[in-house]
Chains A and B, each alone.
Chain A
Amino acid sequence: MIELFHAPNYNFVGKRRWAYVVSGLIMLIGLGSLGLRGLRYDIDFTGGTLVQVRFEQSPTVGAIRAGLSRIQLGESVIQQYGDPREYIIRATLTTDSSEELAKRVTGALGQETSLGKFEIRRVEFVGPQVGRDLQLQAIYAVLFSLAGILIYIAWAFKSVKGGVAAIAAVFHDMIVCLGALSLSGREFSLPVLAALLTIIGYSVNDTIVAYDRLRENRGKFSQKGKSFAEQMNDAVNQTLSRTVLTSLTVFLSTAILLFFGGKTLEDFAFVLFIGVITGTYSTIYIAGSIIVDWTQAAEGRVARRKKAVAKA
């Protein structure tokens, strides 16, 4: 029998101060990048036009730009996309009928003879209203799934603390993912949003497995006389091999998506890839640690009050 861990008994919860420092640093880097470099939003959210072109021979960005200079595009981005013959041309919303832009781009590229033959593979136009709607939808989707999860945990485990700690872990994961997105200069698009929401579900999944174990262990003989921190640590350890194994399989799936899924799925897979790693980490270190510190603080308050009562 292959075993990753044999009856593990690591002191995760005891080392939680270190975890807070590490997480704090990573989140600081992420937030710093988000603040300084910011997130690049896809036209799904900003509105704009995107044209994906495949040329017969690989052209230079300069040649494409020269071709496009015939038409006033305003702010445009020309980007190689996966294959060296494949390019994406993006333009921000202009006032006059933006949806006509694709036609003008095709016309302009056609006139630049040095570019050779090409094929328009994809055209996307997102109007300003739709972009704004999608932004709102994205925010709602994240907030509602967090609320849904919070309510579910509070109900299933009869513990609001547990719910809040799980959400804190999710927040941590989201900041890490968004920070990674910002650092790598990738774009926040609809598929990336889908990936983030999956990470929310997935990260909470791990946390729930640990909570479940904690709940199950309560009242067991082996747990008698143990502090809450020790109980939490036991639960994390007992579910450790499952957490790591599952993460490994999901990690395998997303790694294959990332490296073989093609350009369209790349950003999506990238977020999942980062999210799986941080999701596993945050389950072991963050969710459990927060609930322990919170419980201890609450117990401390109760104890102090009792002392005060006894003195009086």
Chain B
Amino acid sequence: MPRRLWVRCSVVAVVLAVSLWYLYPPRNSINLGLDLQGGIHLVLGVDVDKYVASQTERAAEDLKSGLERKGVAVKRVIREGLSTIVVELANATNWNDALTVAAEFSAFEVAQRDDKGGRFTLAMRERQITQLRDDAVRQGLETIRNRIDQFGVAEATIARQGVDRILIQLPGVQDPDRAKALIGKTALLEFKLLDEQTPVEQALAGRLPETSEVVYQRRVDKETKAERKIPYVVQKRTLLTGSELTRAEVQADPNSTGNWQVAIEFTATGTRIFGEVTEQNVGRHLAIILDGNLYSAPRINERIPGGRAVITGQFTVDEARDLAIVLRAGALPAPVTILEERTVGPSLGADSIRQGMIAILGSAGAVFVFMLLYYRISGAIADVALVLNLIILLACMAAFGATLTLPGIAGIALTIGMAVDTNILIFERIREELRVGKTARSAIEAGFARALRTIIDTHLTVMVTAAILYNFGTGPVKGFAVSLFVGLAASLFTAYFFTRLLFDIIYTARRRKVQAISI
């Protein structure tokens, strides 16, 4: 055997060895897509503007207290629209002091001013708005990742998609409603005082002070599933939020059997604030509000120094557990909505795998037999190349951590058809050369050489389409593009390089003259 032949043989041997190494052990080498193993695929939209608005709201509150500290009499400081703060002073005398305080809020700039009227507006800088929107998605992603980690899902995918979307894939999770509730809950825990001066009826009629609002307590009857909404009047001011929590644990509710509650513990700061609040408001009711729903409003009997509290609400053990998870993982910076959901049950996934395997084996088998019948020994060579192609394709997918989806299986079946095209091109070329009377050796030589340009052209065009498909496609279609692209790249190696090697070993490398090619 000539030396160059040895080199080429070793290349193939190395590629085969590396491929097999990646494919071992076969069970857990290739990731299966959600459509094959079952699971939940979610795309969430983050309401980034809500976050900008809430940050502006907070800045307005800070500004107001800042102005009051400086002794500037304020008529009102309110948020207007998404990111503007309107400041109205009681009189224009402290104008300069007011501007000095406002200048400390570097995220804002003065947009309009009315010196004589004692009124000015602050607008958030564009850069800051962009930054906040980005933060909202980033923090939301982290929080959701945290929740899912605590929920315990193996190999979950949580990734940012586009500007304000979050993609979540939970393989194997079978209860979509529970998972959605866990992920989608904003989990903003707030402690507010009840407004005991305003009667509920009056508040419902719309007559309530500007500092108060109506929130509802939802009670679901476990028997009839009927929902009741009980209105409460609470003060708008938030005394403490869930961000000051350190622990949240599930406990049996001692006052109502069969129900569960969540015990929470505050941080040092939280404990101090909670102590002060309870001390100053003994005898009043403290409302515990989660995502705008009032859970309970217990009476403060005395100062609570230890920084502990419980949230009760007739929870089942799962509900209590999930609530504890979201409280521990923290609130989402902004509400999220489900934009896309795909849930595949495990039995459907198993069916798809079976059908996909039948399809692959069927199309491979048909092509195998066809090539053998039509091209005989050369056909057998092409078949061996096809097997190598499949091995490399699967190994590449395992190595890159690509996901095999049902359309991906279709892509493999198609690759089989297209890989064999390369061999057909070459073999038809060799036949042509033989027809014009060339010897076996030079026909092989010329056949491979002439087909090369065409093969590269055809592969490149389909790879261009596959690449575009990958960039524009989503989920399952991406899987198709991946297997098509990798399959074509592998086919360049197997159908051209490897087949040529086999031809050379069988025909051209021999000392004695080859009379005929079986083609």
Contacts and interface: CB of A to CB of B under 8 A. Distances in A.
B424 A124 contact: no
Looking at chain B's contact residues, the main secondary structure is helix
Interface stretch (B8-16, B116-124, B388-396, B456-464): B456-464
B477 A194 contact: yes
Interface stretch (B191-199, B337-345, B503-511): B337-345
B355 A262 contact: yes
B425 interface: yes
Contact of A205 (B43, B406, B462, B468): B462
A124 B341 CA distance: 5
Contacts of A77: none
Closest 3 CB pairs of A and B: A262-B355, A253-B363, A201-B465
Interface string A122-160: 111111011000100110110011001100110010000
B410 A127 contact: no
B338 A200 contact: no
B477 A252 contact: no
A237 to B, nearest CB: 11
B341 A125 contact: yes
A253 B340 contact: no
Contacts of A256: 359, 362-363, 366, 413
Kindly name the residue among A130, A156, A212, A261 whose own CB sees the greatest number of chain B CB atoms within 10 A: A261
Interface residues of B, number: 70
B231 interface: no
A138 B471 CA distance: 11
Nearest to A205: B458
Kindly name the residue among B339, B417, B420, B519 whose own CB sees the greatest number of chain A CB atoms within 10 A: B417
A108 interface: no
A265 B370 contact: no
A246 B462 CA distance: 15
B418 interface: yes
12 contacts: A121-B347, A122-B345, A137-B473, A152-B461, A193-B473, A201-B461, A205-B461, A249-B417, A253-B367, A254-B417, A256-B359, A265-B406
B180 A121 contact: no
Interface stretch (B85-93, B252-260, B309-317, B428-436): B428-436
Contacts of A264: 35, 352, 355, 406
Nearest to A241: B428
B373 interface: yes
Nearest to B41: A124
A292 interface: no
B453 A123 contact: no
Interface of A: 1-3, 7, 52, 54, 99, 102-103, 119-127, 129-130, 134, 137-138, 140-141, 144-145, 148-149, 152-153, 156, 190-191, 193-194, 197-198, 200-202, 204-205, 208-209, 212-213, 216, 238-239, 241-242, 245-246, 248-250, 252-254, 256-257, 260-262, 264-265, 268-269, 272
Nearest to B43: A130
A253 B406 contact: no
Contacts of B345: 119-122
B450 interface: yes
A249 B343 contact: no
A156 B460 CA distance: 11
Given A125-B340, A264-B352, 15 more contacts: A1-B431, A2-B373, A52-B348, A123-B176, A127-B338, A145-B469, A149-B461, A191-B410, A198-B462, A205-B421, A205-B461, A208-B461, A212-B453, A261-B359, A265-B359
A148 B370 CA distance: 33
Given A190-B473, A241-B428, A256-B359, A122 B352 contact: no
A202 B473 CA distance: 18
Contacts of A216: 450, 453
